[in-house]
Structure 1
């Protein structure tokens, strides 16, 4: 498990391709690998990877199978590419973000980047089937970083996050531009809540669903809005 608090930025030192498998050697900042062992888990741009070899220096190797390459942005990495990294959380560790599994649900696209003074706002375009799990003020994990959704437009299929200077300093987000792909892991409690509500509606209403969907559409809403989880308390 991970906390979604990015600990460092690593770079790709080398890539080795074999049939059905790609191996990465990542260079970490000094001290990152202290106590790291073969078999340990590291979140690499949000993808949970297993250490297969250590050294020299603050380097570690990871193997990525073809399925993970096809589902994440790791397939597009090159030598010198930068990644957000976090070591697995220890028992009793403070959860500064929200619990993450390191299992990516889908890739999304940077639709726009705005840079007002001392902030960056990123608008992210999402495949339609996944927007039902994204709500304003809810949690989302982007390239391994736990972030809060600022705005979400379910009809248009996008959401926005705001990034403070400290987040930009500790992550790769400052270099992201329109068209870039991002790894997204949705918040699991939200997914369970939404799916449970939708299943209950399907079971109870059955033949009435088309009429209900039409009524909601006339009001600018959808069934996904009925499954919106309660807002998390502030403070």
Structure 2
């Protein structure tokens, strides 16, 4: 499990592609790999991956075809910056909301507004997922737990403070970029339960 509080930014060092599998070598800040063991879970842009090997501050991960098809990982290339979070431990503060690291879908950035000391990003998700997105609800974008702003049909925005921009890759965001989305599990459960009872929220 993860908390959605991004612990830092790492850089893709190498990508090796084979049929149905991609292997990533990702360079982390040296103080963030202490105590890492083979088999540990790390959130890479919101996707839970398993450490397969360590070489100093380089950690290695494999992603299967199903993961590549559901996420933005297939487009990663050397030099790309990614958000990361190591798995939560019992007793850790939950500053965001609980995440599984299982990406539900991707979204496109369709607009960016940068007033002084603020940044607002607008995203568009596939219509089928819009039913789970509510103003002031939780959502995870590239592994970061964020509060939803305005919602219009299958578009929503988020407002980012300077600290979030500093600690994540969102400062580099560009219109047209794809991001990983994990829907809040509690919201999904409530919406699906109401749907089974006949109180469905139609997809926009």
TM-score higher than 0.5: yes
Matching of residues 1-235 of structure 1 within 5 Å: 1-55=1-55, 57-154=56-153, 157-201=154-198, 223-224=200-201
SS for the counterpart of 2:101 is coil
Q: How far 1:20 moved relative to its partner?
A: 1.3
Rounded Cα–Cα distance in structure 2 between residues aligned with 1:75 and 1:53: 20
Which structure 1 segments of 5+ residues have no match? 203-222, 226-235
| Superimposed CA distance per residue, residues 148-205 of structure 1 (whole angstroms, 9 cap, x where no aligned partner) | 0011112xx1000000000000000011111000100000000000011111017xxx
Rounded Cα–Cα distance in structure 1 between residues aligned with 2:90 and 2:100: 15
Rounded Cα–Cα distance in structure 2 between residues aligned with 1:149 and 1:87: 24
Structure ranking higher in strand proportion: 2
Q: How far 1:60 moved relative to its partner?
A: 0.5
Q: Would you identify which runs of 4 or more consecutive aligned residues in structure 1 move more than 2 Å?
A: none
| Superimposed CA distance per residue, residues 87-118 of structure 1 (whole angstroms, 9 cap, x where no aligned partner) | 00000110000000000000000010000110
Which structure 2 segments of 5+ residues have no match? none
Structure with max Cα Rg: 1
Q: Give the alignment's TM-score, normalised by structure 1.
A: 0.84
Structure ranking higher in helix proportion: 1
Rounded Cα–Cα distance in structure 2 between residues aligned with 1:127 and 1:15: 28
Rounded Cα–Cα distance in structure 1 between residues aligned with 2:115 and 2:85: 28
Rounded Cα–Cα distance in structure 1 between residues aligned with 2:62 and 2:191: 34
Q: Give the alignment's TM-score, normalised by structure 2.
A: 0.97
Rounded Cα–Cα distance in structure 1 between residues aligned with 2:144 and 2:157: 14
| Root mean square deviation, CA, Å | 1.0
SS for the counterpart of 1:48 is strand
Q: How far 1:19 moved relative to its partner?
A: 2.0
Where relative contact order (Cα < 8 A, 6+ residues apart) is larger, the structure is 2
Matched pairs, number: 202
SS for the counterpart of 1:24 is strand
